[in-house]
């Protein structure tokens, strides 16, 4: 509930950005691997891909993680590239202007484009000031739209930049207004995630595939008189060709034939997946293909895809069936894959194709255990997982039960007019459950962070000061995690109350148990807030957190009484 989060003031969703720097060396593995290795020296960053090209003499590196960590990793990579690459000796087929030619930041989840652009500016400023490399901002990070296009900025390339940079209109946004002879110049910015997406047709005709591509792509097709292929091009009063726009914004598309599969495809670049998401591109292609007597048989994503693209697709196709979309992420992905035929040409493994899963690989150790293994680990002599993790898990089970009631109610015979109402609650429940499951590991990680801080050296005054600060930082985090859990568990109770009131009456006790489990999560998490707050030096912060915690606990107890009153009235 929005008022709950206004009360505790904590964002639930983790912020993730992707960075795809292009380095002007694709022929020397020692060079490009050394550059990419710099990213792995930063905690919180995952190196997802290193793609060198010999002919272009250029390597594209893909990293992702928290914004702060990605900015640090990108800086280290740019610094290493400036050390190892000499642009005065570089040759390659691809246009380029620097050792690090272009470095885009891409919002993936939990962060806006505007926020991502600010991180791009932060990186650009640091590169310019610390490495003395001229830096130009582009796309969303560039306020002057006359110089926001990458190809316009890069025009003249490295060889022409010594003169271009002297012009007033091409003064760099950061760094010296003089070409760095060895490192060249760099372009840094923020842009949308680009999905390379191919849709398969039941034809071998490139011409027919192109017809559909022209129907959907934003650029559309040139308008002709008479026959759309052989007719004369229609021109405007200035003599320019007139275009008929396609039906999808931010989509580039062309038809081609793939000999390996023996089918024609429509190859697309989706350059703004907020305005034209994956599922809309698929459905519109199906509509236009059918209008031309063709049939879409499946599709494929080239490279990686953000999790939300698949989750949104799964929800979209379930809602078209008037089914509850409040199911697990795994089920939403399965629906998306089957609905769009993403596995027609080969297996689609989400663990290898979804950015967030690649980043999180190996981090959720507790929630990936079996129930027995988790209970055994809790019962062992190790102090973690402890009460904080268990409180989060109790809340997750409470949210899960409330969600179950919502889904059962959505599909109840005779309640067809209510499916959307219950679907909305099921989606809320799933979101809460997933966040609480994540908190199970987060709480244990917070405890371990405190333990590591206490292990830091304390031989000198500087070491003592650093150790003290690390302990305080870790303690604050160990307060914030269970405090966040309290808010999530209270949200779970709100869902359970709604389901007790209006859900399937046969499942009212499930809603009651869900509320009780979530209540335990609230109170259990508050115990952890209190014990960790006792060791935190910022008393104003502690007083504020404890006051808000008291309010959350009081609301939880009141909600418990309300829910149990509803449940008992219906089972008498």
pLDDT in tens, 343-400: 999 899 999 889 888 887 766 688 889 999 999 999 999 888 999 999 999 999 999 9
The residues spanned by each domain of the chain are 2-190, 195-358, 363-571
The pLDDT of residue 143: 93
Among 3.20.20.20, 3.30.70.1290, 3.50.50.60, 1.20.120.680, what is the CATH number of 363-571? 1.20.120.680
pLDDT at 32 over 50: yes
- Among residues 101, 192, 312, 443, the one annotated as catalytic is 443
pLDDT reported for residue 1: 44
Tokens standing for residue 454: 């206490």
Active-site hit among 86, 94, 250, 434: 94
Determine the average pLDDT of the residues in 27-33.
94
Q: What is the pLDDT of residues 550-568, one digit of tens each?
A: 999 999 999 999 999 999 9
pLDDT, the chain, mean: 91
Which position has the higher pLDDT, 54 or 68? 68
- What are residue 297's DSSP bridge partners? none
The predicted model gives 333-340 an average pLDDT of 97
Summarised one tens digit per residue, pLDDT across range 513-524 is 999 999 999 999
| 299 membership: H or E segment, kind and range | strand 296-302
The yes-or-no answer on residue 94 being catalytic is: yes
The pLDDT of residue 13:
52
Q: How far apart are CA 85 and CA 30, in angstroms?
A: 11
Q: Which CATH architecture has domain 2-190?
A: 2-Layer Sandwich (3.30)
Q: Which residues contact 334 (CB under 8 A, 6 or more apart)?
A: 314
Averaged over 288-303, what is the pLDDT?
A: 93
Evaluate if residue 169 carries a pLDDT over 70: yes
Tell me what percent of the residues of the chain surpass a pLDDT of 90. Answer: 73
What value does the mean pLDDT take over residues 24-38?
Answer: 94
Helix (H) or strand (E) holding 60: strand 58-65
pLDDT range class, residue 11, cuts 50, 70, 90: very low
Enter the pTM of the model: 0.78
Q: Quick check: 501 pLDDT over 90? A: yes
DSSP state of 232: P
Cβ neighbours of residue 439 under 8 Å, at least 6 residues apart? 389, 392, 395, 481, 484, 485, 488
Indicate if the pLDDT at residue 14 is higher than 90. no
**pLDDT at residue 8 in the model:** 53
Residue 279 known to be catalytic: no
d(CA 440, CA 396): 9
Instruction: Give the integer Cα–Cα distance in Å for 541 and 73.
Output: 32
CB 248 within 8 A of CB 281: yes
Whether the pLDDT of residue 407 is over 90: the answer is: yes
Q: How far apart are CA 219 and CA 247, in angstroms?
A: 9
On whether the CB atoms of residues 61 and 20 are closer than 8 A, the answer is: yes
Maximum CA extent, the chain: 87
Q: What is the pLDDT of residue 7?
A: 55
What pLDDT score does 12 carry? 42
Q: Give domain 195-358's CATH number out of 3.40.47.10, 2.10.260.10, 3.90.1150.10, 3.30.70.670.
A: 3.30.70.670
d(CA 199, CA 215): 14
pLDDT digits (tens, 9 = 90+) for 230-263: 678 888 788 888 878 999 999 999 998 988 889 9
Over residues 484-495, the mean pLDDT reads 97
User: pLDDT at position 115, please?
Assistant: 96
Between 284 and 258, the more confident residue is: 284
pLDDT (0 to 100) of residue 2: 46
Gap between the Cα atoms of 289 and 208, Å rounded: 9
Structure confidence at residue 380 (pLDDT) = 93
pLDDT digits (tens, 9 = 90+) for 91-116: 887 788 999 999 999 998 889 999 99
Nearest CA to 390 out of 495, 494, 523 is that of 523
Distances 536 to 461, 477, 483, 531, 548 between C-alpha atoms, Å: 21, 10, 14, 10, 17
Look at residue 49 in the predicted model and tell me its pLDDT. Answer: 85
Q: Is a pLDDT exceeding 60 seen at residue 330?
A: yes
User: By percentage, how much of the chain surpasses pLDDT 70?
Assistant: 97
297 versus 259: the higher-pLDDT residue is 297
- Please give the backbone phi and psi of residue 289, each rounded to the nearest 5 degrees, phi first: -65, -45
**Tens digit of pLDDT for each residue in 413-437?**
889 889 999 999 999 999 999 999 9
């Amino acid at each position: 509930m929005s008022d709950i989060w206004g009360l505790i003031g904590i964002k639930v969703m983790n912020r993730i950005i992707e960075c795809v720097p292009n380095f002007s060396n694709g022929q020397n593995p020692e060079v490009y691997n050394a550059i990419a290795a710099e990213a792995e020296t930063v905690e919180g960053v995952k190196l997802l891909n290193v793609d060198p090209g010999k002919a272009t003499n250029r390597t594209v590196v893909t990293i992702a993680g928290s914004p702060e960590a990605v900015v640090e990793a990108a800086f280290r990579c740019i610094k290493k590239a400036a050390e190892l690459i000499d642009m005065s000796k570089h040759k390659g087929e691809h246009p380029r202007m620097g050792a690090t030619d272009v470095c885009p930041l891409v919002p993936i989840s939990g962060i806006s484009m505007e926020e991502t652009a600010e991180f791009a500016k932060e990186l650009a400023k640091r590169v310019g000031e610390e490495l003395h490399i001229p830096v130009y901002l582009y796309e969303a990070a560039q306020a002057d739209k006359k110089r926001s296009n990458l190809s316009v900025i890069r025009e003249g390339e490295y060889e022409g930049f010594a003169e271009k940079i002297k012009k007033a209109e091409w003064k760099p946004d950061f760094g010296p207004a003089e070409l760095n002879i060895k490192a060249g110049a760099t372009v840094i910015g923020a842009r949308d995630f680009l999905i390379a997406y191919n849709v398969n047709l039941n034809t071998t005709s490139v011409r027919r595939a192109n017809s559909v591509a022209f129907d959907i792509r934003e650029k559309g097709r040139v308008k002709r008189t008479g026959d759309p292929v052989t007719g004369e091009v229609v021109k405007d009063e200035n003599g320019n060709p007139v275009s008929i726009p396609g039906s999808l914004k931010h989509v580039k598309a062309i038809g081609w034939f793939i000999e390996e599969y023996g089918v024609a495809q429509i190859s697309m670049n989706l350059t703004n997946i907020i305005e034209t998401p994956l599922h809309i591109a698929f459905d519109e292609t199906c509509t236009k293909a059918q209008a031309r007597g063709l049939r879409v048989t499946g599709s494929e994503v080239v490279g990686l895809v953000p999790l939300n693209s698949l989750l949104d697709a799964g929800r979209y196709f379930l809602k078209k069936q008037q089914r509850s979309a409040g199911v697990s992420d795994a089920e939403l992905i399965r629906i998306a894959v089957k609905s769009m035929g993403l596995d027609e040409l080969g297996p689609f493994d989400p663990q290898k194709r979804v950015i967030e899963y690649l980043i999180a690989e190996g981090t959720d150790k507790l929630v990936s255990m079996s129930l027995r293994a988790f209970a055994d680990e809790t019962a062992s002599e190790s102090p973690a997982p402890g009460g904080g993790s268990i409180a989060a898990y109790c809340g997750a089970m409470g949210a899960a039960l409330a969600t179950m009631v919502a889904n059962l109610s959505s599909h109840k015979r005779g309640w067809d007019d209510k499916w959307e109402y219950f679907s909305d609650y099921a989606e809320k429940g799933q979101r809460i459950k997933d966040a609480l499951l994540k908190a199970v590991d987060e709480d244990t990680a917070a405890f371990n962070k405190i333990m590591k801080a206490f292990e830091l050296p304390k031989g000198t005054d500087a070491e003592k000061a650093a150790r003290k600060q690390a302990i305080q930082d870790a303690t604050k985090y160990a307060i914030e995690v269970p405090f966040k859990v309290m808010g999530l568990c209270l949200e779970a109770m709100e869902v359970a109350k709604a389901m007790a009131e209006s859900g399937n009456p046969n499942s009212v006790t499930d809603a009651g148990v869900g509320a009780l489990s979530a209540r335990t999560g609230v109170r259990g998490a508050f115990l952890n807030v209190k014990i960790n707050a006792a060791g935190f030096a910022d008393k104003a912060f502690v007083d504020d957190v404890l006051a808000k915690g008291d309010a959350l606990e009081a609301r939880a107890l009141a909600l418990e009484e309300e829910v149990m009153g509803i449940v008992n009235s219906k089972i008498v």
